[in-house]
Structure 1
Amino acid sequence: MTEIKDFMPFSSTYRIISFMMVVGFVYPNPKLSKIRIVAVFALLLSIAPVSLLIFIDIYKSFIKRDFVNIIRHSTVVGPFLGSFLKQIIMHMKQTTGMQIIDEINRDYSSYNTMPARYRRIVDASIKNNLAYSEKCWAITVVSCVMTFPVMAIALNIYNFTFKSEPTKYMIHDLQKPYGRPEDRFDSPYFEIMFVYMFYCAILYVINFTGYDGFFGLTINHACLKMELYCKAFEDALEANSLAEMQVKIVGVIKEQNRLFKYVELIQETFNIWLGIILIATMIQICNCMYHITEGYELDLRYIIFIIGTIVHIYLPCRYSAKLQHMSLETATLIYCANWERVSIISIRRMVLFMIARAQIPLEITAFNKLIFDMDLFVSILQTSYSMYTLLRS
């Protein structure tokens, strides 16, 4: 059997997510608060010119009643500007965010001293996180965002290689605030804007990879904590003496209480963000569908973008539903752990309270009101389609 290596801290285990959180200024280190404020302000200044140009073009399009162009711009610039809210939110929630990472680091350190059967469960959970919550999510974000610059580069290379009068393509087609429409393709304006928008695309990837991936990792770790203390409860009932059994069960109860506090930290850290993406995603899906069906031509970039948008709201709903299901499943696992073989009344009472508490599902909510689960995901899609049909009419 392959030897399981020691479990490392959060930043060493999930290098991609940690790196994206650091360079995106959402890593919740209270010691770097002042640096984070200055850096976020500098980033906002760096994207102000392109944002201003887009808003000017939106205004001109509104005057001309060109709603397709308005939606085309808002589909891209809305999530881009909204992503900077994550930096502000994490700055506000840096204390609870850091407590989440500290709890994960504390757990990984304690897992190194556990028996091999526990370590295999932890190792499988970490591998799952690395494969799906980290790598697959990063690939999804890169695929959705970098499709725009990659297609623009490919079309420019093809046109300049095989056409005598090549057509230039921008990453995101944007009119100059003055002059003729074709002036945007003149040098060096075109080259400067191309590099500038490529820089914005990189910021896009960074802002959506780190923070959103962090949420998935925290939920999966909560599920891991529940799985481990249910396993520990089974082992506690097989103890050789009453004193040892009581000590082990008390340890399980303490871990159960730590799990509840940990989930409260997740709720406190992410509930505002979940509410924002709930509203923004419905608008985004509606806008993408409208642009694809009512735009000037079928655009592969926006088809990929709408798929990424749906995945972006699906994953929080899926993770939250997983947490809810696992929290209820712990009651069944504890009940099926052969506790009836123990005749000690005090231990039976402890089991009773553990089961009763586990029967209350753990839920992640947006704005502390709307429960995130798969029913909400279906409702979001239905509402988005209703908004789309209203917009078309």
Structure 2
Amino acid sequence: MADEEFEFKPFSVTYKLITFALSVGMIYPNPKTEKWRLASIPILVASIMPLALMIFYDMYKSWMVKDIVNIIRHSTVVGPFLGGFFKMILMYHKRIQAKEILDEIDRDHDLFNECADIYKDIARAAIKNSQVYSERGWAITVSTCVMTFPVMAIALNIYNFTFKSEPEKYMIHDLVLPETESELRFETPYFEAMFLYMFYCSILYVVNFIGYDGFFGLSINHACLKMDMYCKALEEAMLAPGEEVCGRVIGVIKEQCRLFRYVDLIQDTFNIWLGIIFIATMIQICTCLYHITEGYGFDLRYMIFVSGAVIHIYLPCRYAAKLKALSVETSNRFYSCGWEQIDDQRVRRMILFMVARAQTPIAITAFNMLAFDMELFTSILQSSYSMFTLLRS
């Protein structure tokens, strides 16, 4: 059968937007492009270093005159921006594990094409949910939070040059040219060059966050789909002819073991990143709130940005909590599968061990220590507000 006739296609075809972002961001774990990515990552990092160095220099000058608001304004933007390039390095380091995640997703999608309609319905609904929320929804969220800066700057510049006799220029991120008068940043050709340069950096910003973080969400959602599928397979096995029951149960056990291996790959690939965003997001929410309340007046861009920061930490916590809850729920589904109708003692003993194993929650942790769940999300918000209160005082 030709590939076009399959309903469930590989990851790269099913989630084209995330695949594109991963590829452009030099993150997609394709063994054929390893050398290309190894050469391209330093080039991309070098391309943004002038902007990063100018921001750090301006932060240093602000520190010398105790301009805390300007320091926070810069750090709020440059921290996550540089974090995006750390993701490139981290994903290259974890490229083998990430490729195994993709291979497992591709393998499962291939199997779905041969399943009965009842399994296809489950897979179809789960994939559609991932495409809508974890792919397109996340891409819209990131694009809105980041591209608000250049879009508002472009709109204000067009308005001022159209309707004002002495138009005021707006930069994407206001930055003073090192060792010059502050007003020189609006002079031609520096203003135009910096505007285009910052727009290029904004595009990289969007690509990095869409690809890496979206890949995490899709990976967790697929783990939940795997659990749904083998729970349904066990229920169907209990209705099979007597001589087929044992073989089908063994197949479910194999799928359960594959799920545990798959989650271990997710944990290994993303646990460092989860630890970093745990710390960074608390700081970012705090600094954004401080800039909005104590800075140079209300700024819609930073209001949207702080909302994005909250969503950025909410989603990993939500995904991890969903995985944890569903992993525990599988024990109830195993127990309720109808095993009492089966006289085969081997099958009963196998289901007993499956139930016992499923009662241990599957947790996604940061730095292999800190479990991500909704309680952690609440704690992050509380800690961020406490830091904000301390900073204001």
TM-score, normalising length: structure 2? 0.98
1:99, 1:135 → 2: CA distance?
24
Deviates more, 1:320-329 or 1:336-345: 336-345
Deviates more, 1:176-185 or 1:121-130: 176-185
1:44, 1:7 → 2: CA distance?
37
Alignment of 1:52-131 (within 5 A): 52-131=53-132
2:140, 2:53 → 1: CA distance?
30
What SS does the aligned partner of 1:166 have? coil
Deviates more, 1:157-166 or 1:30-39: 30-39
Report the counterpart of residue 361 of structure 1 in structure 2: 361
1:246 is aligned to 2:208: no
1:139 is aligned to 2:135: no
Question: Kindly, what percent of the aligned residue pairs are identical?
Answer: 62
1:320, 1:30 → 2: CA distance?
28
Q: Which amino acid aligns with 2:91?
A: M
Q: Which amino acid aligns with 1:210?
A: G
Q: Which amino acid aligns with 2:128?
A: K
1:106, 1:152 → 2: CA distance?
46
Report the counterpart of residue 392 of structure 2 in structure 1: 392
1:218, 1:56 → 2: CA distance?
39
Report the counterpart of residue 39 of structure 2 in structure 1: 38
Alignment of 1:1-40 (within 5 A): 6-40=7-41
Report the counterpart of residue 271 of structure 1 in structure 2: 271
Q: Which amino acid aligns with 2:83?
A: G
2:322, 2:8 → 1: CA distance?
24
Q: Which amino acid aligns with 1:215?
A: F
Report the counterpart of residue 329 of structure 2 in structure 1: 329
Report the counterpart of residue 191 of structure 2 in structure 1: 190
What SS does the aligned partner of 2:360 have? coil
Q: Which amino acid aligns with 1:213?
A: G
Q: Which amino acid aligns with 1:313?
A: I
Give a deviation string over 1:339-384, Cα, whole Å, max 9, x none: 1111221111011000000000001000000000000000001111
Q: Which amino acid aligns with 2:269?
A: T
2:145, 2:125 → 1: CA distance?
29
Which consecutive unaligned segments of at least 5 residues does structure 2 have?
none
1:383, 1:276 → 2: CA distance?
16
Give a deviation string over 1:138-162, Cα, whole Å, max 9, x none: 0000000000000000000110111
Give a deviation string over 1:183-213, Cα, whole Å, max 9, x none: 1100000000000000000000000000000
Deviates more, 1:71-80 or 1:24-33: 24-33
1:179, 1:141 → 2: CA distance?
34
Report the counterpart of residue 160 of structure 1 in structure 2: 161
Report the counterpart of residue 348 of structure 1 in structure 2: 348
Displacement of 1:82 in angstroms is 1.1
1:355, 1:50 → 2: CA distance?
55
Report the counterpart of residue 296 of structure 2 in structure 1: 296
What SS does the aligned partner of 1:247 have? helix
Report the counterpart of residue 314 of structure 2 in structure 1: 314
Give a deviation string over 1:280-320, Cα, whole Å, max 9, x none: 00110011001000001100000000000000000000000
How large is the RMSD of aligned CA atoms in angstroms? Answer: 0.9
2:97, 2:57 → 1: CA distance?
39
2:35, 2:363 → 1: CA distance?
34
Q: Which amino acid aligns with 2:137?
A: C
1:346, 1:152 → 2: CA distance?
69
Displacement of 1:5 in angstroms is 5.8
